[in-house]
Structure 1
Amino acid sequence: MASATNSPAHAEQPPIPQHLWKVAALSGMASYLDAALIVSIAVNLAIYRDNYHMGVWMAGAISAIVTGCIAVGSLVGGRLADMFGRRRVYNWDIFCFALGAVVITLAPNDVVLFVGVLVAGLAAGADLPTSLAVVSDAAPAHGRARLVSFTQVMWVAGIVVVIFLGYLLSDTGMTGARCITGHLAVAALVTWQLRSRLELADEPSDAEVAQEAAVLEAPRGTALKNVWNRAALLPMAATFAYYVTWGIGANTFGQFGTYLLVTVSGASQSLATGINLAFLPIALVLTFVFVRLADTPWRDRLFYVFTLVQILAFCVASLTAGALAGMLVFFVLYQISNPFAGEASYKVWSQLTLPPDTRGTTQGLTYALSRGVFAGVAFVTPALMEYSASLLLWSITLCMAASAVAGVYIVRVLVRRTPKAVPARADLGVAGA
């Protein structure tokens, strides 16, 4: 497992076998479906409310249960994967997601819709830490960061596809809503079938895992006591601190960016939607750039630069109190910086620094706690925005500054401790490939 500090120059990196990119793509579907589920519910909520005659409390519950279930699913799924086998859980959680998506798509009323969201949310959460651990287990040392960070490309793609479908089907009512969630069911079933055919090598050998654990000074085994020791707690606390502080800003603008542009900046609904759509392709392209650089020293060098750009973006938004001109500058700076100082960094750092035997449990825990915080912040955001947009924006700016501090600590202390090399497991493939 190569740290960025010790990685070869980008031009000298050994190529990653094609079949490992297939493993990363199938694992990345967890991120695609996670993002697509959240955005689908947000896009369809007004349609559900009108067609199912939902009250305000049920509408709020449907929105909240998505984030809450993903949090619980991450916690439980990561632990189950460590205990009973990551690949076994890897196959079954995507199938359960497909069932939940089918229920959402065919739901005749709000109660059935609630059940579908519950099942799909839990399954999506369970798949997140599990799929990342599967990629990490499969990856050779020289390509682990690239393969793990590719899942973030899939996450951005999930947002882009659902928003684009929502735009195309905006005048079709419930039929369009069913098409949007139906595509999630189809994507999950296809992924389940392809994962079932995935021929992976045996789990990493005991010698390989022992070598990695020894460098990280981590005890062996999946017992819960091995989660509560310094080797696991330190990187877990650091990656959590980074992800939760960065994610408060990212999640707030993901859920309420359009709302803020309309209510605070004075933009029309169409202009606000257009601004969000216009910048998404930039994020997707730059996330691909991050993947290309993820196994080189430039990954963490660019983090230093773009975490400052990200803080600058939020300072501009805060200093202008959400004025439209300031928000346009904000979106440019934010979308440029986010791929290099965002969730992709969290995913890579987690896989590099967390102990191998409990990687699913520990990352599931950081996912779960962070998503719980995001849900709580989302609950109070509209009220805080109405009370004082400046207070909200400056609070997020402070969170971004805190995430920068946590990120610098991870890069300068924890990443430097990671193993420089673990023998590559090149006998991975897809049946029929």
Structure 2
Amino acid sequence: MAGTRPIPRPLWKAAALSGMASYLDAGLIVSISVNLAVYRDSYDMGVWMAGAISAIVTGCIAVGSLVGGRLADLFGRRRVYNWDIFCFALGALVITLAPDDITLLVGVLVAGLAAGADLPTSLAVVSDAAPSWARGRLVAFTQVMWMLGITVAIFLGFVLSTTGMTGARFITGQLAVAAIVTWALRSRLKLPDEPPETETGAAPEAISLKGVWTRAALLPMTATFVFYVTWGLGANTFGQFGTYLLVTVSDASQSLATGINLAFIPIGVLLTFAFVRVADSPWRDRLFHVAAVVQILAFVIASLTAGALVGMLVFFVLYQLSNPFAGEANYKVWSQLTLPADTRATTQGLTYALSRGVFAVAAFFTPALADHSPSVLLWTITACMTAAALAGVFIIRVLVPRSARDVPDGADLRVPSTSPAGLPDKEH
């Protein structure tokens, strides 16, 4: 079975270094969320500045995804791959050392744009380096890094909750250190620089912007966008407001609400590792059907109980069990499998950017909608999850088989010879 074929260690290294984009993306969002109350008190921050910083994180990641993916396809993915992470390190350092809220805002702008730019670029880089029989597992591994980013930020926030700005600086400082180390390692990593440049240095015709608007690109781009944006509305709502909803809707205490979220993180990490194991096998898409149904059932239970604590506890159990097999990891793998290789960074950057923009707008209205009617909020999310399941089935039944047929016979069916750096030599 293709999914059991061993992957050379250099490719796992490339996947881990690319996965740092997801680690830093998740770590930045959660760190700002964890530290926001500390920033507000230490900088005597007004409510509008606090809201602006929260919104700017998501907005900058959206803009960065749109611009960064396009730049990667125009000027070389490896080049942008290295500059993205370097700029993130600078932004994280500014956040960590910020003496006031204006400086903090500048750091958030730089780090958010860089994190967004690195997401589609890093996925395209690891996909370029991977043979087809290993691409699913290597791309899916970036989702493990995303979970680790959340885990580390929440754990440090919990441990350092009584240390004020010292703890807040440590939480963002570890992101800066991680980015600097990743930049140093990426700079020495030998990867194919796709797409290739012409003799004049100009971008080849294959990656001109008009290539994005062809049927070959539009159909998978639209399908993966529909899946990600509808699934993400539910996931983002509970990612940003899970504790808030447990406290305000379910009448849980702050400590209980925080404890519930912490308790389920190890489950999510372990099951994401399990997804990586099956990401190149037929079980990836078989498990999606089951997980998507369980995920919808979880939201139906939460909706029927109008967010009551018992219903929410059942929801969290079912959601955490199903989410790794019917969520963002699927979107990442499907995007790399179905989007045209020459515009992969641009097209996935578009879907990332548009989705994150929708999430930012939805987040603005979520507290008000939860206060007005928890049932309306929960049933709306249930409908979104149902739409995501239908989009996923279309991708599995139509687009994945079509992309498999488009792969030339014999392509990537063996372990490539390796360069001195241990990475596959590019075949000409």
Q: Same fold (TM over 0.5)?
A: yes
Output the CA distance in 1 between the equivalents of 2:254 and 2:283.
Answer: 39
Residue 141 of structure 1 is matched in structure 2 by: 132
Is 2:77–2:124's contact at 8 Å kept on the other side of the alignment?
yes
Q: In the alignment, does 2:323 pair up with 1:338?
A: yes
Q: In the alignment, does 2:251 pair up with 1:266?
A: yes
Output the CA distance in 2 between the equivalents of 1:120 and 1:249.
Answer: 25
Q: In the alignment, does 2:388 pair up with 1:399?
A: no
Corresponding residue SS for 1:271: helix
Residue 156 of structure 1 is matched in structure 2 by: 147
Is 1:236–1:354's contact at 8 Å kept on the other side of the alignment?
yes
Which of 32, 38, 49 pairs up with 1:58? Answer: 49
Corresponding residue SS for 2:213: coil
Letter in 1 for 2:411: V
Q: In the alignment, does 2:174 pair up with 1:183?
A: yes
Output the CA distance in 2 between the equivalents of 1:162 and 1:155.
Answer: 11
Q: What is the 5 A alignment of 1:228-243?
A: 228-243=213-228
| TM-aligned CA deviation for residue 141 of structure 1 | 1.4
Residue 251 of structure 1 is matched in structure 2 by: 236
CA separation of 1:428 and 1:181: change in aligned 2, threshold 3 A: farther
Corresponding residue SS for 1:322: coil
Residue 411 of structure 2 is matched in structure 1 by: 422
Q: RMSD over aligned Cα, in angstroms?
A: 1.6
Output the CA distance in 2 between the equivalents of 1:429 and 1:318.
Answer: 56
Letter in 2 for 1:265: S
Residue 327 of structure 1 is matched in structure 2 by: 312
| TM-aligned CA deviation for residue 14 of structure 1 | 2.1
Q: What is the 5 A alignment of 1:239-318?
A: 239-318=224-303
Structure 1, gaps ≥5 residues long: 1-7, 207-218
Residue 341 of structure 2 is matched in structure 1 by: 356
Q: In the alignment, does 2:190 pair up with 1:199?
A: yes
Output the CA distance in 2 between the equivalents of 1:144 and 1:53.
Answer: 48
Is 1:29–1:154's contact at 8 Å kept on the other side of the alignment?
yes
Which of 53, 62, 83 pairs up with 1:71? Answer: 62
Corresponding residue SS for 1:161: helix
Q: What per-residue deviation string (whole Å, max 9, x for no partner) do you get for residues 279-338 of structure 1? A: 010000000000000000000000000000000000010000000001000000000000
Is 1:101–1:116's contact at 8 Å kept on the other side of the alignment?
yes
Output the CA distance in 2 between the equivalents of 1:429 and 1:409.
Answer: 42
Residue 39 of structure 1 is matched in structure 2 by: 30
Q: In the alignment, does 2:357 pair up with 1:369?
A: no
Is 1:106–1:178's contact at 8 Å kept on the other side of the alignment?
yes
Letter in 1 for 2:166: T
Letter in 2 for 1:92: W
Corresponding residue SS for 1:22: helix
| TM-aligned CA deviation for residue 200 of structure 1 | 2.1
| TM-aligned CA deviation for residue 227 of structure 1 | 0.4
What is the count of residue pairs matched by the alignment?
A: 411
The higher-RCO structure (CA 8 Å, 6+ apart) is 1
Output the CA distance in 2 between the equivalents of 1:273 and 1:233.
Answer: 41
Question: TM-score, length-normalised on structure 2?
Answer: 0.94
Q: In the alignment, does 2:15 pair up with 1:24?
A: yes
Output the CA distance in 1 between the equivalents of 2:195 and 2:66.
Answer: 23
Letter in 2 for 1:56: V
| TM-aligned CA deviation for residue 429 of structure 1 | 7.0
| TM-aligned CA deviation for residue 199 of structure 1 | 1.7
Letter in 1 for 2:178: A
Output the CA distance in 2 between the equivalents of 1:382 and 1:28.
Answer: 32
Which of 74, 79, 85 pairs up with 1:88? Answer: 79
Is 1:9–1:297's contact at 8 Å kept on the other side of the alignment?
no
| TM-aligned CA deviation for residue 50 of structure 1 | 0.4
Residue 201 of structure 2 is matched in structure 1 by: none
Letter in 2 for 1:233: L
Letter in 1 for 2:336: Q
Q: In the alignment, does 2:212 pair up with 1:223?
A: no
CA separation of 1:226 and 1:114: change in aligned 2, threshold 3 A: same
Letter in 2 for 1:161: V
Corresponding residue SS for 1:418: helix
Output the CA distance in 2 between the equivalents of 1:30 and 1:223.
Answer: 25
Question: TM-score, length-normalised on structure 1?
Answer: 0.93
| TM-aligned CA deviation for residue 378 of structure 1 | 0.1
| TM-aligned CA deviation for residue 229 of structure 1 | 1.1
Corresponding residue SS for 2:99: coil
Which of 368, 372, 385 pairs up with 2:370? Answer: 385
Output the CA distance in 2 between the equivalents of 1:378 and 1:331.
Answer: 20
Is 1:220–1:357's contact at 8 Å kept on the other side of the alignment?
no
Is 1:19–1:429's contact at 8 Å kept on the other side of the alignment?
no
Letter in 1 for 2:170: C
| TM-aligned CA deviation for residue 220 of structure 1 | 6.7
Output the CA distance in 2 between the equivalents of 1:276 and 1:186.
Answer: 26
